[in-house]
Amino acid sequence: MWASRFLKFNSRDMAIDLGTVNTLVYLRDRGIVLNEPSVVALETINGVSRVRAIGTDARLMLGKTPENVRTIRPLRDGVIADIDVAEQMIKHFIDKAHGGPSKIPRRPEIVICVPSSSTMVERRAIRQAATNAGASKVLLIEEPMAAAIGAGLPVTEPVGAMVVDIGGGTTEVAILSLRGLAYSLSVRVGGDKMDEAIASYTRRKYSLMIGEATAERVKIEIGRACKPAEGVGPVMGVRGRDLVAGVPREIEISQLEVAEALSELVGQIVEAVMTALENTLPELAADIVDHGIVMTGGGALLRGIDEVLARATGLPVVVADNALMCVATGAGRALEDPVYRGVLASQ
Query: pLDDT digits over 145-200, tens only?
Result: 999 999 999 999 999 999 999 999 999 999 999 888 999 999 999 999 999 999 99
Helix count and strand count (H, E) for the chain: 11, 18
The verdict on whether residue 55 carries a ligand-binding annotation is: no
Q: Does 151 map to a domain?
A: no
The verdict on whether residue 169 carries a ligand-binding annotation is: yes
Specify whether 131 is located in the same domain as 233.
no
Q: Does 2 map to a domain?
A: no
Q: Smallest Cα–Cα separation from 12: which of 24, 1, 23, 28?
A: 28
The verdict on whether residue 300 carries a ligand-binding annotation is: yes
3-state DSSP call for residue 112? Answer: strand
Q: Does 150 map to a domain?
A: no
The verdict on whether residue 202 carries a ligand-binding annotation is: no
The rounded distance, in Å, linking the Cα atoms of 301 and 192 is: 14
Specify whether 240 is located in the same domain as 121.
no
The rounded distance, in Å, linking the Cα atoms of 198 and 91 is: 33
* Close Cβ partners of 66 (under 8 Å, ≥ 6 residues apart): none
* pTM for the full predicted model: 0.90
Domain of residue 209 covers 191-262
Number of structural domains in the chain = 3
Of the residues 210, 234, 262, the one at which a domain ends: 262
State the pairing for strand pair 22-27/14-18.
antiparallel
For 18-73, write each residue's pLDDT tens digit: 999 999 999 999 999 999 999 999 999 988 889 999 999 999 998 888 999 999 99
Identity at 283, one-letter amino acid code: E
Specify whether 139 is located in the same domain as 221.
no
Specify whether 46 is located in the same domain as 114.
yes
Q: What is the CATH number of the domain that holds 87?
A: 3.30.420.40
For 269-286, write each residue's pLDDT tens digit: 999 999 999 999 999 999
Would you tell me how many other CB atoms lie within 10 Å of the CB of residue 227? 15
Specify whether 85 is located in the same domain as 112.
yes
The verdict on whether residue 217 carries a ligand-binding annotation is: yes
The verdict on whether residue 256 carries a ligand-binding annotation is: no
Share of the chain above pLDDT 70, in %: 95
The verdict on whether residue 168 carries a ligand-binding annotation is: yes
